[in-house]
Amino acid sequence: MIIAVDGPAASGKGTLARRLAAHFGYAYLDTGKIYRAVGYRVLEAGGDPEDPDAALAAAHALQPDDLENPELTSDRAAVAASKVAAMESVRAVLLGFQQGFAADPPDGAPGAVLDGRDIGTVVCPEAPSKLFVTADVEERAKRRHKELLDKGEPSIYSRVLQALKDRDARDSNRSAAPLVAAPDAIVIDTTAMDPDEAFASALDSIR
């Protein structure tokens, strides 16, 4: 069993995907983390995430430990991720790992939940269950802003909103595996839902 969960940044897809994986006892893969790790590797090396050679070299050099870096949750890493993710060559290097995880989940798990932007369209187009989780950009910005403040980090709402709009545009307008709902995905709009309601709606769709 494979559950594909796609959607824009801060839509609640990660929380939902993690909860679905725990509920069904499936393995969970946050594919955004992989792109973040590639982007962060480029930044660490003093390179430009928009430089195709630097991005491709970082994708090839990626190590499992890179995914454990707490810096990956930063906005710097998110922006770098979105830039390296626009390159077809980078995506091609990372595709096999994601498909292998879905086909043969670790620890003998009977299924996998993957979240990202192109799981239902490119990574696992055969997934029997596809969700596209979205929410209005203002609501997503509010959530992200609150999350930062709760963590004690400085945050300015208007900047968070603009950063999300920029990332949405980059992720949606690229030619390589753009952010789009698969034709057979069930769309869950979480604008007016709390995490419990989103989970209940997802379970309904999957069943």
Binding site for ligand DC (CB under 6 A): 9, 31-32, 35-36, 78, 81-82, 85, 116-118, 167, 171
Least distance in angstroms from the C-beta of 105 to ligand DC: 17
Q: Is 2 helix (H, G, I), strand (E, B) or coil?
A: strand
Task: Decide whether 86 or 193 has the Cβ nearer to ligand DC.
Answer: 86
User: Residue 118 CB, nearest distance to ligand DC (Å)?
Assistant: 5
Residue 117 C-beta: closest distance to ligand DC, Å: 4
Distance CA 151, CA 70 (A): 14
Question: What single string gives the DSSP state of each residue in 71-106?
Answer: GGGSHHHHHHHHHHTT-HHHHHHHHHHHHHHHHS-G
Nearer to ligand DC, 96 or 108 (CB): 96
| Nearest to 190, CA basis, from 13, 18, 23, 19 | 13
Q: What is the DSSP secondary-structure string of 172-193?
A: HH-SSS-S---TTPEEEE-TT-
C-alpha distances in Å from residue 23, one per residue of 4, 19, 47: 15, 6, 41
Closest to ligand DC by CB, 89 vs 108, is 89
For ligand DC, give the closer residue by CB, 115 or 199. Answer: 115
Q: Which is nearer to ligand DC, 9 or 21 (CB)?
A: 9
Burial 4-33 (b: 16+ CB within 10 A, else e): bbbbbbbbbbbebbebbbeebebbbbbbbb
Nearest to ligand DC of 163, 193 (CB atom)? 163
Strand partners, 133: 188
